Each structure stands twice: as C-alpha cells, then as structure tokens.
Structure 1
Amino acid sequence: MSLVVFGHGYTAEAFIRRVRGRFDRVVATARSREKTVRLAEAGLVGRLFPDPDGASALRADIAAAEAVLVSVPPGPDGDPVLARLSDAIAAAPRLAWIGYLSTVGVYGDHGGGWVDETTEPRPVSRRSHERLAAEGGWLDLGRRSGKPVAIFRLAGIYGPGRSPLQKVLDGTAQRIVKPGQVFNRIHVEDIAAVLEASLARPRAGAIYNVADDEPAPPQDVVTYAAGLAGLPPPPEVAFSEAEMTPMARSFYGENKRVASRLIREELGVTLRYPTYREGLAALVAGRDAAERPDRS
C-alpha cells in the first residue's frame, strides 16, 4: 500500500509516524530540495512541491496511492494541490481515502457559544475564507470522482516542542487576558489517531471537528503549564496592551467553543488528551524522561 502526504509538517509527521507500518511506501512533499533529501534519509520518498520542473513523479505516486493526506495551506490563488494535481487525484484508480486538514477558524466568531459540524461556517479572517474555499474544492472533487474525501477542522495544535509549556520554559509565554475569551486545543497525537480511524472507516463528504473537550481561557493554560514546570507564571497582560503579531491578535477576534462528538460517535476515537491538563502533564513527563540519565 502507498500513502502520499502533501506538506510534511508537524501534524503530517505525527500521522506518518502512527500509520507508517500500514504502508509499504510513503511519499511526502516539501518546499525545498534540502528537506526532500532529509525525508529520503528518514526512509520516505521525498518530493518537491510545487515542482518547477513538473510533477510527473508525483503524478505516478498518486496513481499508485491508496491514501492521500493534504496538509498544504491554500493561498489567495486557491489550493495548490487542487490547482496542479486534481485531475491526477480524481483519476487515481486505487485511491480509497483523501484527508484534508482544515481549521475550526472557518466557523468564525460565535461570542463564546458552542459550534459543531452542523454549524454553518462564517469565516472572518482571509485565511479562514481561503480554508473554507479549499474545503469546498476538495468536497467537490470527491463528488465528481467518487473518491471519499474527509475534512478535518483542527483546533489549536500542540505537542512536543510546540506548546505553552515550551513557551514557559524558554521565557516567551504571555498570560494574555481578554475577559470571556476561550480556545480549544488538540494534541498532535490525538489528531493522528483521528486520521487513522478515518483511514480505516472512510466516509465520503465527512467533516469532523478535531478539538479537545475543554475550551479554556488562554491565561489559565499558561498558569497551569508554569505550575507543571515549577516556575512562576508570567504576569497577566490585558489583551489591549499585549505585544502580539497581527496573526496572533486576529485569533482573539474569534471566540467559540468547539464540540467534537462526531469523532467519538462515528470513528470511535477516545482522546488520549481530552483537556490541556492531560496533554501538558504528558509533555512534562516526556521531557523529564528524555532528560533523565540512563542508569541501567
């Protein structure tokens, strides 16, 4: 069996790690030739995408694939995979699963109210508008080709090396307070588990929210991370006074609570890290184990 992954990033890497034993061949794309070399050194087939020299090798990979995961973000000109390779994907004779990684940002702002997969998207940011358009493109490809496409709307991703704990440890954490603001999060290993479950039970046109069970104020999460690390939490900073990038500030313009019951009810997934507490505690345990000297 063969898997093609567009965009070998943080989440895609966790998915490959989890399902690699199911596939005889895993193809992963990168934006630089240097990274394709590193992918080959890790035992994957590395492909450049977009490829200025053409995509004949990727077209052959797609023709032989049973599964495709798309983890490449869209841009103002649309989804780059659809733009360049939709015909190859639609024609792939063995393809039994297409997964597209999207974002809960497509729901927009709901004033702290709950949303689920039946909630009509009303994106606010340009990025979320582009994501929703890409979702539509992939679902349309699935309808036209008969290929089962599943959309995964991801909450804020964290995991080893990328979490509030890491920011506390390196001194970059901010405890930003905006009254009433909450965010959902999702551990990268739980995303991988959801993707694996969908791979085993594909449903054409499926849309899944992938989020933890406790939307929480961001300052509470930072405080908890600091406690786990044995460090004092950074001082509280009012949202209006916080130093943030425009992208980070834009996230605070959307406030919602994301329900993800469908991954349990349809895919049978029980989150290993249902709240940020379990997830951050596991990261501390993993860090401690990595730093503990081998006394055997």
Structure 2
Amino acid sequence: MSTLIIGCGYLGIRVARRMMAAGHRVFATTRSRDRAKDLEREGIEPILADVLVPESLDDLPAVERAFYCVGFDRSAGVPIDRLYVDGLRHTIGRLASRAKRLIYASSTGVYGDHGGAWIDEQTPADPQTESGRACLRAEQLLTDFAEVSMYPVTILRYSGLYGPGRLMRREALQSGTPIAADPESFLNLVHIDDAASAAVLALRSPRPGPRYLVSDDRPVRRLEFYGRLAEALGAPPPSFTEPSGDGPIRGDASKRVSNRSIKADLGWTPEHPDISTGIPASLAEESRQADRS
C-alpha cells in the first residue's frame, strides 16, 4: 500500500511516520532540497514539488491514497488565499489521476463565532477571518471537483493543533504580556498526535464519510488553557486584554466543537482527551527532543 502526502510539515510528518510503521510506502512533497534529505533519512520518498508551481507537480507518483495538508507559512510572503485555493487548484486534477482517493486537512475556522454553542458537521459554515474564508473557498473548490469527477474526497476540519514546539502564546505567558482574547470564550484544540491518528484512520478506512470535525473531547475556556500552560511553564498567571482590530479574529471566536461523528464512524479515540494530559505530554516531548539534540 502507498500514500502520498502533499505538504509534509508539522502534521504530515507524523502521519507519514504512522503509515510507515504500519508497513506502507510513503511519498511526500517538499519545496526544499535540504528538507528532502531529512525526509529520506526517515524512510520517506521525497518529491521536490510546490503547489504554486503547477509544472513541478507533473511527476507525482501513482498511489492508493493521498493526504493534502499544506500549511500556511506567514514568513513566505504568499497570500493565504493563493496558497490554499490556487495551490489546491493546481494539484487536484493531477492527484485525481494518480491517487485513488484524497483526505484533505481543513480547519474549524470555517465556522466562525457561535457564542459558545456546540457545532457539528451539519452546522453551516460562516467564516469571519481571512484564513477561515480561504479554507472554505478551498473546500468548495474541492467539493465541486469531487462532485463533477466522482472523485472520493474526505475533508477533516481540524481544531487548533498543539503539541511539542507549538504551544500557543507561550512567549507572551513567559514575559507576562497580556493575551488579546476573552478569557471566558471557548477554545477547541487537538493534540498533534491525535490529529495524526485521525488522518491515518481516514486514510486507511475503505469508505470514510465526506467530512469530519477533529477536536479533542473537551473544549476549554481560554482562561483554563492559558492558566494550565502558565503553571506548567512556571510562568506568572495569564492576564487578558480586549482584542483589537476592526473585525473578528480567531482568538475572539467562541464555539464548542463536537467530535462525535469521527469517533462513531472511524473509531477514533484521542490519546489526549483534553489539555490536562496534552500539555504535560507536549512539554515532556520537548525535553526528550532537547536531550537527544
């Protein structure tokens, strides 16, 4: 069995490792020759390709399945809509001729603010940020293509990914800088290892559904998350300030994401049901990585 990962970054590399551990052949795209060498050392077969350069995608391999998880890098200077929408447009036709089906990583940011109410796969999308709108436009492009071509596609809408090396507002907590958010609003998260296990289940399922929300078992208020993280870091308790700007921002949105569908359909069980184990596990892994380096 073979898998192609488009965008082998923070999430994709963990999916690749799990697929290889199960005995699968894994290909992965990267724009960097140095990164290609890193992937090769892990046993992944690298492909130099860039979703914004269509001709670079001409040599994608034929595989059983593909996982598209291209992340947005603000430092690259590329508009998010161009990366998410145009990049997918360049890729999807080529993928459909080479991969038998596709799992696509999206975001619960497509829902915007719901005043703390629960949402699920049937909740209408209403993005209120630039990133949420770009995600939804990419999803619509993919859905339209799948309907016309009868190409099997599953969309995974992820809550905020966290884990080793990615603990939100860490520097602000350690410096005592106030966080621009409502401390009573809800935050929805999923540990990176659980995000990877959800993708693997969708990739390996013979008939996954068209869309799943991927989030841990317990949405938490921002006050709890930042309080627990500050305590684990030995930082002062968090302080908060009113969000600035003219429009809604992701940090000011409040909703509670239900994970019932993916648990029922695919048997997904998060290793870290909430931040009470996810934060300590993330910091412990950072310590192990530091010891190995």
Q: Which shifted more, 231-240 or 109-118?
A: 231-240
Q: Secondary structure at the match of 2:124?
A: coil
Q: Does 1:108 align with 2:112?
A: yes
The corresponding residue for 1:28 is 28
Q: Does 1:79 align with 2:85?
A: yes
Alignment: residue pair count? 283
The TM-score normalised by the length of structure 1 is 0.82
Question: What do residues 21-72 of structure 1 show as CA deviations (whole Å, max 9, x unaligned)?
Answer: 34553222223333234333433223221475923xx43434x111111112
Asked if 2 retains the 8 angstrom alpha-carbon contact of 1:175 and 1:223, the reply is no
Q: Output the CA distance in 1 between the equivalents of 2:270 and 2:232.
A: 21
The corresponding residue for 2:258 is 259
Q: Does 1:46 align with 2:52?
A: no
Structure number with bigger Rg: 1
Question: What do residues 203-257 of structure 1 show as CA deviations (whole Å, max 9, x unaligned)?
Answer: 366111011122222232121123234x24344132258xxxx7xx821342211
Structure 1 unpaired stretches of 5+: none
Asked if 2 retains the 8 angstrom alpha-carbon contact of 1:151 and 1:208, the reply is yes
Equivalence map 1:54-69=2 (5 Å): 54-55=55-56, 58-62=57-61, 64-69=62-67
The corresponding residue for 2:2 is 2
Q: Output the CA distance in 1 between the equivalents of 2:211 and 2:70.
A: 18
Q: Output the CA distance in 1 between the equivalents of 2:52 and 2:232.
A: 45
Asked if 1 retains the 8 angstrom alpha-carbon contact of 2:51 and 2:88, the reply is no
The TM-score normalised by the length of structure 2 is 0.83
Asked if 2 retains the 8 angstrom alpha-carbon contact of 1:4 and 1:28, the reply is yes
Asked if 1 retains the 8 angstrom alpha-carbon contact of 2:176 and 2:239, the reply is no
The corresponding residue for 2:94 is 88
Offset, 1:126: 2.2
The corresponding residue for 2:184 is 180
The corresponding residue for 1:238 is 241
Asked if 1 retains the 8 angstrom alpha-carbon contact of 2:188 and 2:220, the reply is yes
Asked if 1 retains the 8 angstrom alpha-carbon contact of 2:177 and 2:239, the reply is no
Q: Output the CA distance in 1 between the equivalents of 2:251 and 2:172.
A: 20
Query: What amino acid sits opposite 1:136 in the alignment?
Result: Q
Q: Output the CA distance in 2 between the equivalents of 1:153 and 1:276.
A: 19
Assess, with a 3 A threshold, how the Cα gap between structure 1 residues 169 and 257 changes in structure 2: closer, same or farther.
closer
Query: What amino acid sits opposite 2:69 in the alignment?
Result: S
Asked if 2 retains the 8 angstrom alpha-carbon contact of 1:227 and 1:233, the reply is yes
The corresponding residue for 1:214 is 218
Query: What amino acid sits opposite 2:242 in the alignment?
Result: F
Q: Secondary structure at the match of 2:220?
A: coil
Q: Secondary structure at the match of 1:26?
A: strand
Query: What amino acid sits opposite 2:65 in the alignment?
Result: A
Q: Output the CA distance in 2 between the equivalents of 1:178 and 1:101.
A: 27
Question: What do residues 81-113 of structure 1 show as CA deviations (whole Å, max 9, x unaligned)?
Answer: 432233322223xx3331111100101111111
1:120 aligned to which of 124, 131, 151: 124
The corresponding residue for 1:135 is 139
Asked if 1 retains the 8 angstrom alpha-carbon contact of 2:173 and 2:236, the reply is no
Offset, 1:18: 1.4
Q: Output the CA distance in 1 between the equivalents of 2:280 and 2:86.
A: 38
Asked if 1 retains the 8 angstrom alpha-carbon contact of 2:107 and 2:135, the reply is yes
Offset, 1:265: 0.6
Structure 2 unpaired stretches of 5+: 72-79
Assess, with a 3 A threshold, how the Cα gap between structure 1 residues 188 and 166 changes in structure 2: closer, same or farther.
same
Asked if 2 retains the 8 angstrom alpha-carbon contact of 1:97 and 1:202, the reply is no
Assess, with a 3 A threshold, how the Cα gap between structure 1 residues 176 and 28 changes in structure 2: closer, same or farther.
same
Asked if 1 retains the 8 angstrom alpha-carbon contact of 2:217 and 2:273, the reply is yes
Q: Output the CA distance in 2 between the equivalents of 1:15 and 1:171.
A: 34
Q: Output the CA distance in 2 between the equivalents of 1:201 and 1:267.
A: 7
Q: Secondary structure at the match of 1:79?
A: helix
Asked if 2 retains the 8 angstrom alpha-carbon contact of 1:168 and 1:222, the reply is no
Query: What amino acid sits opposite 2:96 in the alignment?
Result: A
Asked if 2 retains the 8 angstrom alpha-carbon contact of 1:6 and 1:70, the reply is yes
Offset, 1:8: 1.6
